[in-house]
A and B are shown apart, each in its own frame.
Chain A
Amino acid sequence: MTNPEMVESLIYEKPESLTDIGTHYCPGCTHGISHRLIAEVIDEMGAREDIIGIAPVGCAVFAYNYFNMDFAEAAHGRAPAMATGVKRVNPDKVVFTYQGDGDLASIGAAEILHATGRGENITVIFINNAIYGMTGGQMAPTTLPGQRTTSTPLGRDIELHGFPLRMCEILSQMDGAAYIVRRSLHDVAHIRKAKKALRTAFEVQRQGLGFSMVELLSSCPTNWNITAEDSLKWIETHMIPTYPLGDYKVHAALSVK
C-alpha cells in the first residue's frame, strides 16, 4: 500500500511570523500575498522577536491580527511619523510600516517625504492598488488617468484631478533614501522578485543605511469591478506602464557585494 520509494517532503508551511487568524481580505486581493512574503522574510532573518510593525488606516488596518509580532496601529497617513517615534527610542529594533496608496501618497504625503528626507532608518512596505479600497473604491493619488472609481465615475479626468503620483520616482530623488524599488505581485516570477526586494529592504535597515521602501503593485478586484484573474492581468497591462518596475535607488554599500 505505501510506496517504499516515497519520501515525505515539506513543501508548504505557515511562517512563524504569521498568526493562525484567517484574513478579512477579499478573494483575489494581493494583501495576503504581501503579508506572507514579509512574514517569510522576517522568519528567514530570524527577526520576529526584534521587530515592530506599524499598521495603516486602510484595508490593512488589521494587519496586526495577522502578523505574530509587536504592532501598533497608526492614524491615517501617520505611520512613518509613528515609526520614527518607535525607532528613535528602539534603535536596535527593526521597525516597518505597511501602508496603502491613499495612506502614504495622499493624506500621509508629508510624513513619508520627511521620513525619507531624514533618512529615517525604517522600512516602508507600500501597497499601490490605484484605489481607496477600504472606503469602497474612491480615487487615490495613484489612480490612473481615465480609471473609473466611485468618485471619478466618468474616469479620472486629468484636467480636474491631475496626474498620478509616482512615489518611487519622487522619493528616490532624496538624499536620505537608501533603497527604493518597485515590484509587482501579478505572477509567481514577480512575486519571487518582490520577496527578494523585501529581504534587501530589511537588510538595509539592519545595516543602518537609511530609509528603505518597497512599492508593491497590487490588485483590488472588488473595487476595480473585475475578476480576480483579470485584476492580475490589469496590473500587467495597465499599472506597470504607468508605474515601471525597477530599482530607483540602491545604496552604494549594496552594489559592492
Chain B
Amino acid sequence: MAKELLKGNDAFAEAAIRAGCEAYFGYPITPQTEALEHMSKRMPELRRVFLQAESEVAAINMVYGAACAGVRTMTSSSSPGISLMMEGLSYIAGSEVPVVVVNVMRGGPGLGNIAPSQADYNQMVKGGGHGDYHPIVLAPATVQEMIDLTVEAFDLAEKYRTIVAILADGSLGQIMEPAELPPMQPVRKLKDRPSWALTGAKKRDPNIISSIYIDPVEEEKVNLRLMAKKAEIEANEVRFRELLLDDAEFAVVAFGTAGRIAQSAITEARAEGIKVGLMRPISLFPFPYERIHQLADEVKAMLVVEMNGGQMLEDVRLGVEGKVPVSFYGRMGGMVPMPEEVLEEIQKLARSVKN
C-alpha cells in the first residue's frame, strides 16, 4: 500500500479498523476528537459498532462489555477523559479482558489546555487505577508509528489478555505526515470468539467475567497471576530505538515527540563534535531498564528530555542505578521544547563532564 498524507488521529483510528476493531466507544475531547469522528463515519460503513457515549466513564464500561463478548474493541481520549476511565480500566485489568486505549495527552493538571504534553506518563505507565496492574504502554513518535503500534496493540492485548495503551501527545494527534496504512483485516466471526467470551451459554457451561474475589486468598492468587503475566511481558515485549549510540559519550533518553525533538538536537550537537546519541523507549511498560543499565556503562552521562516535570526520569534513574550522572530537561503545561533548548542542555552536559 502506498504512502498517503495522514493526520495522526485519523491514522490510528483507521489503523484500528484495519486491525479488525469491531467496536469503538468514545467521547469528544481535543486534541483527540478526529479519531472519534473518523470512527463515526467508517465503522457504520463497515457495519461495525460506533457509539458516542454519554461520558468517558460510560465509554470505558461499554468497551469493557464489548471486550467481555470477545471482540476487538477500543476507546480513545485525552488526559481528563482518561482520568475518568481509571475505575473501568482497573476492572478490565482485574477481569483480564483485552482492551486497547489511546491517550492523546494534553497540558494539565485540571482542565489545563489542548496543547501537547507527556504529563500522564506516571498515570498510564504505573497503572493509574486502583490495585496492582500494569497495562502495556507504547509510545509512538511519528504518524507511521501511531499506525504500526495500534495494529500491534490489538495483538498484544489478546496475546496477554491485558490493556494496551498507546501514549501519544497532542502534536502526534494533530500532525500530518506521509504514512502507510496496513491491509484490511476482517472482523472475527462469532464462532471464532475466544472460549471465555460471553456469547450465551449454548451447549457449554456458563462463562463468568468478574473482578471480585471476596476471599483474600483467592484475590492474592489473581494478583500473583497478574504479576507472572507482568514478568512475561517484561521478558518479551521491551521495545526501543537507538540512534548514534555506538561511539557516544553522552546519551539523551526521550520518548515520543520529545524523542523526535531530541533527535534534531543530537544531529546539531554531532555537527559541533559532541559524541551524543539517542535512546528512545517505545515500550514505556515494559520499560527498557536493562538496556539503560548497560548504556550507563557505555556513556559518561545521560540527559532525559520530557514534556513534563520529570516522570520517565525516575525510571531512567532506576535503570542507571547511580552509575553515571543523569540530568533532566522538561517543558510543561503544553509547552514543547525547541531543538535549540535541548542542544543547549547537551552542550552543558558535555562541558560538565569534561571539567
Residue positions of A touching B, CB distance < 8 A? 48-52, 54-55, 61-62, 64, 67-75, 78, 81-90, 93, 110-111, 113-114
Contact = CB atoms under 8 A, between A and B. Distances in A.
Interface residues of B, number: 39
A33 B348 CA distance: 75
B76 to A, nearest CB: 16
B62 interface: yes
Given A75-B87, A84-B51, 11 more contacts: A70-B198, A70-B206, A72-B209, A72-B210, A73-B212, A81-B62, A85-B23, A85-B62, A90-B198, A110-B58, A111-B58
A187 B238 CA distance: 63
A54 B59 CA distance: 16
Contacts of A50: 200, 202
Contacts of B55: 110
A90 B199 CA distance: 7
B203 interface: yes
Interface in B188-204: 198-203
A88 B202 contact: no
11 contacts: A51-B200, A52-B198, A70-B198, A71-B210, A72-B208, A74-B64, A85-B62, A89-B73, A90-B200, A110-B55, A111-B57
B244 to A, nearest CB: 47
B15 interface: no
Contact of B65 (A49, A64, A86): A86
A83 B65 contact: yes
B200 A81 contact: no
Contacts, number: 130
B222 to A, nearest CB: 14
B131 to A, nearest CB: 13
Interface of B: 22-23, 25, 49, 51, 53-55, 57-59, 61-69, 71, 73, 87-88, 91, 95, 198-203, 206-212
B61 A85 contact: yes
A126 B151 CA distance: 40
Given A61-B212, A70-B206, A71-B206, A84 B65 contact: yes
A89 B22 contact: yes
A90 B206 CA distance: 16
A116 to B, nearest CB: 11
A70 B49 contact: no
Contact of A78 (B49, B88, B202, B210): B88
Query: 3 smallest A-B Cβ distances: which pairs?
Result: A85-B65, A81-B61, A73-B210
A87 to B, nearest CB: 8
B23 A88 contact: yes
Contacts of A74: 61, 64, 91
B57 A110 contact: yes
A90 B58 CA distance: 18
A71 B209 CA distance: 6
Contact of A86 (B68, B88, B201, B210): B68
A83 to B, nearest CB: 6
A64 B210 contact: yes
Nearest to A68: B206
Contacts of B209: 71-73
Contacts of A62: 212
A49 B210 CA distance: 19
B206 A89 contact: no
Contacts of A68: 201, 206
Contact of A81 (B22, B58, B69, B203): B58
A82 B201 contact: no
B68 A88 contact: no
B73 A85 contact: yes
A20 B67 CA distance: 29
B198 A72 contact: yes
A89 B66 contact: yes
A89 B43 CA distance: 13
A95 B152 CA distance: 31
A52 B208 CA distance: 10
Contacts of A70: 198-201, 206-208
Contacts of B203: 49
Nearest to B65: A85
A69 B206 contact: yes
